[in-house]
Amino acid sequence: MMPIIAKRSPIGLDVGTHSVKAVQSVRGRRGWEVAVSTRFPRLNPGKPLTGEEAAELRSVLRRQGFSGSNAVVAANTEKVLTGTLELPAKKAGVPMDQIARAEFARIHKCDLSAAQFAWWELPAPARGGKGTHVMAIAYPHAEAESQLDVFDSAGFRVRAIKTTSDALGRVAMANAPGKSTVAVLDLGWKGTTLVLIRNGVVAYERNSAGAGLSALHATLASRLRVDAAFVEELLGRSGMGPAPEDMATVAAEARPLIAVHMNAVIADVLKAIAYTSHQYPDAPVGVLLLTGGGSCIAGLDEFFASALGVEVRAANAGSGSDARGATSSHACAIGLAGDLN
């Protein structure tokens, strides 16, 4: 008998300002599962990806067991424009797409002829009028072409560029089936992204550039007089949870500093939860999923849950061997890699 070789997904590539997260999935008996994953630091942190770095990235992926050149990459969050619109009621003959384009361009003062534009209808809010409520998004062609050129020069075949909110929305539905409203908080190096999913569609997105982990790391390194490697270990082993005996003293000094940083993030989350409660009082946020590098900070889920009064947990990348080393920090890459449903 010939061996059956499971078909792998494109490589989900989440290239952040600080690190690269990559995942390739395979369809198993229970649906898509992680086949291989990796996370490693950027060669040129804080700078745009170059063809040279992309080529090195591809070399690393080959050595670590990724196969093929097909990839789905994350859009540059800083260049993505999003917003909610209230359009006229849907009726025959009403040019909804034309109206959506005109209203979005007016609000954002942008030229949509030079951007990829999409919109989708949202569940009607409890206090909404007779109009049609939609979520809209735009991504400049120039930014997309720049990304494609870099990856193409390294031998990748980019099948799609997807937004972080789209990727996290897929992860949310896989992690919280049956929940009508799910919040996902991606704690990244340069900033945070908060996404609300209502009945399976992205209904809200908020990006906060000043709340990234880089600021927290810099504060801890400076105030505690330790290096970057120790900060990483401290957050992963102690964070906001119980401290191991060998770092109890420094952990006690670090905890208030971590709390100050995360309380600012929590304030943003509370605003989003209040917005959802106003729009959909019959379906409040059922769970908050933590993703990104910050989701691996020890005890952070309990700290957030205590402040928010809702269930909070790190996104599940898979159980046991199914995760193949992936963690909640790989969530965006997992969402990019393949359909999780």
Q: Provide the CATH number for the domain around residue 161.
A: 3.30.420.40
Residues 131, 69 share a domain: no
Same domain, 310 and 320: no
Q: Is residue 191 part of a domain?
A: no
Asked whether residue 199 is domain-assigned, the answer is no
Does 201 reside within a domain? no
Number of domains in the chain: 3
Task: Yes or no: say if 303 and 240 are a contact pair by the CB < 8 Å rule.
Answer: yes
For residue 285, being part of any structural domain is answered with: yes
| Domain identity same for 25 and 170 | yes
| pLDDT of 32 | 75
Same domain, 134 and 69: no
pLDDT of residue 6: 60
In-domain check, residue 189 = no
pTM assigned to the model: 0.91
Q: What is the CA radius of gyration of the chain?
A: 21
**Does residue 68 share a domain with residue 15?**
yes
User: Residue 60: exposed, middle, or buried by beta-carbon count in 10 A (0-12, 13-18, 19+)?
Assistant: middle
Q: Is residue 183 part of a domain?
A: no
Domain that holds residue 231: 206-314
If asked whether residues 26 and 149 sit together in one domain, one would say yes
173 and 60 in a common domain = yes
Residues 95 and 30 grouped into a single domain: no
Tell me how far apart the alpha carbons of residues 42 and 330 are, in angstroms, rounded to a whole number: 15
Closest to 293 measured CA to CA, from 109, 3, 39, 63: 39
pLDDT at 30: 67
Are 201 and 207 within 8 A, CB to CB?
no
- Classify residue 1: in a domain, yes or no: no
The pLDDT value recorded for residue 319 is: 47
Q: Are residues 165 and 309 in the same domain?
A: no
- Is 227 in the same domain as 303? yes
Residues 233 and 300 in one domain: yes
167/314 Cα distance (integer angstroms): 16
- Tens-of-pLDDT digits for all 341 residues of the chain? 334 446 889 999 999 999 999 999 987 776 778 999 999 999 999 999 999 999 999 999 999 999 999 999 999 998 999 999 999 998 888 999 999 999 999 999 999 999 999 999 998 887 766 789 999 999 999 999 999 999 999 999 999 999 999 999 999 988 888 888 999 999 999 999 999 998 889 999 988 888 899 999 999 999 999 999 999 999 999 999 999 999 999 999 999 999 999 999 999 999 888 888 888 888 889 899 999 999 999 999 999 999 999 999 999 876 444 567 889 999 999 999 975 44
- Residue appearing with tokens 């060669």: 43
Q: Residue 153: what pLDDT?
A: 97
Q: Would residue 197 count as lying in a domain?
A: no
Which token pair is 72?
């789905």
**DSSP one-letter code for 303:** H
327 and 241 both lie in a single domain: no
Tokens of 181: 């409203």
39 neighbors 20 (Cβ within 8 angstroms): yes
